[in-house]
Amino acid sequence: MAHPSAEQPLGEFALIRALQRRFARRKPALVRGIGDDAAVLAVSSRQWWHVTTDLLVEHVHFDLRTASPESVGYRAGMANLSDLAAMGALPRYSLISLAIPPSFRRPDVVRLYKGMMEACRPHGVTLIGGDTSASRSGLFLNITLIGTTARGQALLRSGARNGDLIYVTGRLGDSLAGLQLLDGATAKKRRRSTAISPAHRRYLIARHLRPTARVREGCWLNTAGLATAAIDISDGLSGDLHHVCEESGLGAELQEGAIPLSSACRAYARATGQNPTHLALEGGEDYELLFTVPPAKQTTLERQAGARGFRITCIGTMTRRRKGLRLLSQDGSRPIPITSYEHFRS
C-alpha cells in the first residue's frame, strides 16, 4: 500500500480502519471480519474457519544479509501460525505467494520453502495453492493460513471483562534483543553487547530467527474454555494489549516485576544500558500469546498449564476503560506509552 500523503502520514492502523469503514460489509456467515488475528467464517454447522494472511517484504521485515532463506521462511510460517494460535484454531491449509527478484535463485526459493514447511508441517498444514511472480524490487512473501475450531468456539480480542487476569506465554523481549544483536542497532550498542556471553547471544538471536508459535497453548485455552480473549504478541506487549483493550472496551494494569524476562534478555539489557521492561513492552515478534482469564478459573488454568508443561505468567489485570493502560512498579503507577510497531510511522 502506498504512502497516503507525504505531509500527513496516516498510521497503518488508522489506514486499516479507514479502509474497513469504507469497504467492509456484513455477511451472515461472517462471524468476525477485519480487526482480529484472523477472520472467522461459519461455513458449516459444526466448524468455524479462521483465515489469516501476512505479507513479508525484503528490507522491511527481513534482511537476507543477516537471515538465511530458511529462517525467513520459518519466521514467516511461525508468524502466520501465531495468528491462528491467538484464535485458538487448529492450522489446516496454506496458500503461499511469492514475488521473486532476479538475485534470488531457484535454490534460494527451495530453501525458503524448506523453512516454511519446517514451521508448518509439524502442525499438519497442507499446502493448497498460491501465486508466483517476478519482482523488480526485493523478495515479497505472502502466506495465507486457514484453521478450524468447533462452531461457536474462538478466542477473540473482544472478549475480555473488567477484573480478568492478564497472562502471557513464554518470555518477552528476546526477539527484539536478538534483532538488535543482528543489526548491531548502533555502533555503541554493538561494542557493549560483546559483554554478554556467547550462549546468551546465541539464544537471543535464535529467539528472533526461530520463534515458536504457541499453537498447542492456543488450542488448549480455547477448547478448555479458560480464556475470555487472546492476541498474539507480534507488535509488542504494549501495542497488542492496547488492541485487546480497544476491542474489549477496557483498560489494563500491568505489574512491571511480573513480566517474564529471560536471563539472556536481562544480561543484554544491562550490557547495552536499556531497561529490559522496555524490550518486552516495545519489542515485537516474540509470537507469545497474551490472554485474559476470569479470576475464578485461575487455579484450574495454572494446574492444567503445569500438567501440560506450558509456561504461563500472570502479569496484570483488566480494568475500566477510563483507567487506560498503566504499569505498576516499585516507584508507583504510570501510563504505558503505546509504542507498537506501525508501518508508515517514522
Residues found near ligand ADP in the complex (CB under 6 A): 16, 19, 34-37, 54, 83, 234-235
Secondary structure in 3-state letters for 296-344: HHHHHHHHHHHHHCCCEEEEEEEEEHHHCEEEEECCEEEECCCCCCCCC
Q: How far is the CB of 248 from ligand ADP (least distance, A)?
A: 15
Q: Angle at which helices 106-120 and 69-87 pack, to 10 degrees? A: 30
217 touches Mg ion by CB under 5 A:
no
Stretch touching Mg ion by CB under 5 A, among 29-37, 189-197, 213-221, 253-261: 29-37
Question: For residue 148, what is the enclosing H or E element?
Answer: strand 140-150
Our CB check for ligand ADP shows the closer of 200 and 214 to be 214
Nearer residue to Mg ion within complex by CB, 232 or 285: 232
Shortest distance in whole angstroms from residue 8 CB to Mg ion: 27
Confirm or reject binding of residue 37 to Mg ion (CB under 5 A): yes
Whichever of 217 and 232 has its CB closer to Mg ion, that residue is 232
- Pick the closer one to Mg ion by CB: 149 or 234: 234
Task: Please report, for residues 164, 292, 325, 332, the alpha-carbon distance to residue 314 in angstroms, rounded to integers and kept in the order given.
Answer: 11, 9, 16, 19
Q: How far is the CB of 149 from ligand ADP (least distance, A)?
A: 17
Distance of closest approach, residue 85 Cβ to ligand ADP, in angstroms:
11
Q: What is the CA radius of gyration of the chain?
A: 20
Tell me which of 58, 164, 232, 288 binds Mg ion, using CB under 5 A: 232
Q: Which helix (H) or strand (E) holds 272?
A: helix 263-272
User: How far is it between the farthest Cα atoms of the chain?
Assistant: 59
19 binds, among Mg ion, ligand ADP, none (CB under 5 to 8 A by kind): ligand ADP
Q: 3-state class of 236 per DSSP?
A: coil
Q: How far is the CB of 31 from ligand ADP (least distance, A)?
A: 13
Count, residues near Mg ion per rule CB under 5 A:
4
Least distance CB 36 / Mg ion (angstroms): 8
- Which residue number places its CB atom closest to Mg ion? 37
Nearer Cβ to ligand ADP (16/42):
16
Contact 272, 184 (CB under 8 A): no
Judged by CB, which is closer to Mg ion: 173, or 239?
Answer: 239
**Cα–Cα distance for residue pair 346/340, rounded to 1 Å:** 12
Strands 126-134 and 90-100: parallel
Query: What is the nearest approach in angstroms of ligand ADP to the Cβ of residue 12?
Result: 7
Cβ(53)–Cβ(94) below 8 Å? no
> What's the residue count for the chain?
346
Q: Which residue in the set 36, 58, 70, 83 belongs to the binding site for Mg ion (CB under 5 A)?
A: 83
Q: Which residue ranges make up the site for Mg ion (CB under 5 A)?
A: 37, 83, 232, 234
